[in-house]
Structure 1
Amino acid sequence: MDDLNIDKAVNLILEKINHWASDLISMLPNLLIASLILVLGFYFSKKIRKFAEKKLPKLLPTKTLANLSVSLIYIFCLGTVIFVALKILNLDSTITTALAGAGIVGLGLAFAFQDIAANFISGIFIAFSRPFYVDELIRVKDFEGFVVEMRLRETIIRTHQGHLISLPNKEVFQNAITNYTRYGKRRADVIGGVSYGEDLRKVREVALKALESVPNVIAEDTTFLFEEFDGSSINFKIRIWVNSSKFGDYLQFINDTIIVLKEAFDENNISMPFPITTLDFGIKGGEKLSDVLNSGNQKSEDSN
């Protein structure tokens, strides 16, 4: 009895193997065609991606948008090739069922990875709105630096100290962006003060004349304003526009402006006073220090 059961099991296994072998032989042409399509499809997909990487940056306004388009084109090509290969193998219905199940799972994952999705979508909006380009100087919240790279999930900036900072695109998109480069020129505010005894009209004339020698200054946009009476000086502010968006030029411009103003004031004997502290003596004030000291000594002698 046991021998019959063993023989029956062996026969079933052999029949199954024969059935599989027959199916494999019948599917062999389709399998070869599907394999050929996969190889050629992957090859031409890479060729299409390289072609897109070369042409799209010239057609699209930003590098980020070009990279996004290249990725989508490549994914579409690969997906098409794989679907055609599965269709030849009569597995397209299986993959459709799998995708339907993956859609339900994906819905649950969407809630778990909503920040990643938000950064991705924000990256697309940034790519289309173009608030900044690579190498431009920007400020987002408390972070300031040059744009190194714009990715779909994050924006990389390099600070003035050389640090690389990754800013999530969601934060970049939802906050105010200050672009110091796009306008092509920047304003520098130089603050100083002159003595109360100076001729203020002369001070203004000397300062504006001196600024004409500073490189990149836009003279017609420069304004000189006296702002307040301070304890030891009359303070002024010069609003100067520099015709350059480079950060290094901006710092050098401020340096040159301060040097030129100091030299011009010295040549014209215009005093820029240090802070002065006035000491008032006596109970009611207005007395000289020597009188207060003499009065104190006199009282000391009388008491003796």
Structure 2
Amino acid sequence: MVAWDEPLPYIGVTPFQLVSALIILIVGYIVAKIIVSIFKKSMKKSKLSPIVVEFLARFLAILLYIIVIIVALGAVGVSVSPLILGLSAVIGLILGFGLQDTITNLAAGVWIASLRPIDIGEVVEVSGQVGSVTGIGLMSTVLHTVDNRMITIPNRLVWGSIIVNYTRLPIRRVDVDIGVAYGTDLDRAIKIAMDVMKSHPLVLDDPAPSVAITALADSSINLQLRPWAKTEDYWTVKGDITKAIYEAYGREGIEIPFPQLDVHIKGTE
């Protein structure tokens, strides 16, 4: 007959302690799986991306398994206090040194996925790089540039820099700069520019287009044409208006000067 309270030879652990530890491991594993499953279902209702939910679920599962193992070791008489202190020290060293950048990137990735300052398919400027967002991962964000380059930016640099999102809003103002010669009838030049913008089918009536005098430069009076267009029509409108204003000024005899320098030589007597 087995004595449940008598320590077993060589290991010094009673059968009751072994059975208790085994039950703790089995029940703890089942409970951990249930908790992780509930956590994943609740997180899927949020706006977090699936990859972020999966990462958080795995992190929670590892944490719960460690707790179950520590409790099971305590059931067989092992002193868990030194173990907890040791694990805390190791985790602290890992987080403080080896995984500092990794943890920073992971945290930034969670914030990006949660707050969504950028999203897949949007054209953005991040850390001085401009491109279409093709991927937002836990560690990095990927941009696809117009000249067919793939740029991978660590998430800590994305979250820590100014983000310019060019396509999030439905309309954009198109700025077209052009210079006219000194002596030009500015009212006439502005009227021609307004007619060019208003005649374009993709230029919006509201907000209304406008023309601003931006500078009295060395060789020209600089104008800026400011039509508004749907975001997806931005580059089409910019190209068309630039071409149209150049042709219109040419037909109307309005000079578009190039940079020049006048040199006056005084004769000596």
Normalised by the length of structure 1, the TM-score is: 0.64
Distance 1:148 1:122 in 2: 17
1:106 maps to amino acid: I
Quote the residue 1:143 is aligned against: 129
Which of the residues 220, 237, 242 maps onto 1:258? 242
Distance 2:40 2:243 in 1: 52
SS in 1 for 2:174: strand
SS in 1 for 2:177: strand
Q: If each structure's helix is expressed as a fraction of its own residues, which one has the higher value?
A: 1
5+ residue gaps in structure 2?
Answer: 1-8
Quote the residue 2:221 is aligned against: 234
Distance 1:235 1:33 in 2: 82
1:153 positional shift: 2.2
Quote the residue 1:180 is aligned against: 166
Distance 2:132 2:115 in 1: 18
Distance 1:164 1:281 in 2: 55
Quote the residue 2:203 is aligned against: 217
CA RMSD of aligned residues (A): 4.1
Distance 1:138 1:104 in 2: 41
Distance 1:208 1:228 in 2: 19
Deviates more, 1:201-210 or 1:233-242: 233-242
Which of the residues 103, 111, 115 maps onto 2:88? 103
Quote the residue 1:297 is aligned against: none
Paired residues for 1:68-79 under 5 Å: 68-77=52-61
The CA deviation string for residues 121-170 of structure 1, in whole angstroms up to 9 with x for no partner, is 22223333322112222222322222222222222222232222222222
- Whose radius of gyration is greater, 1 or 2? 1
Distance 1:68 1:234 in 2: 54
User: In the superposition, relative to structure 1, how do residues 229 and 97 fare at CA in structure 2: closer, same or farther (>3 Å)?
Assistant: closer
SS in 2 for 1:69: helix
Normalised by the length of structure 2, the TM-score is: 0.71
5+ residue gaps in structure 1?
Answer: 1-18, 285-304
User: In the superposition, relative to structure 1, how do residues 189 and 74 fare at CA in structure 2: closer, same or farther (>3 Å)?
Assistant: same
Quote the residue 1:205 is aligned against: 191
2:143 maps to amino acid: I
The CA deviation string for residues 149-206 of structure 1, in whole angstroms up to 9 with x for no partner, is 2222222222232222222222222222222222233333212122445432122111
User: In the superposition, relative to structure 1, how do residues 275 and 164 fare at CA in structure 2: closer, same or farther (>3 Å)?
Assistant: closer
Please state if 1:120 is matched with 2:106. yes
2:53 maps to amino acid: S
1:92 positional shift: 9.7
1:187 maps to amino acid: R
1:85 positional shift: 8.7
User: In the superposition, relative to structure 1, how do residues 96 and 182 fare at CA in structure 2: closer, same or farther (>3 Å)?
Assistant: farther
SS in 2 for 1:138: strand
User: In the superposition, relative to structure 1, how do residues 82 and 92 fare at CA in structure 2: closer, same or farther (>3 Å)?
Assistant: farther
Distance 2:137 2:77 in 1: 34
SS in 1 for 2:179: strand
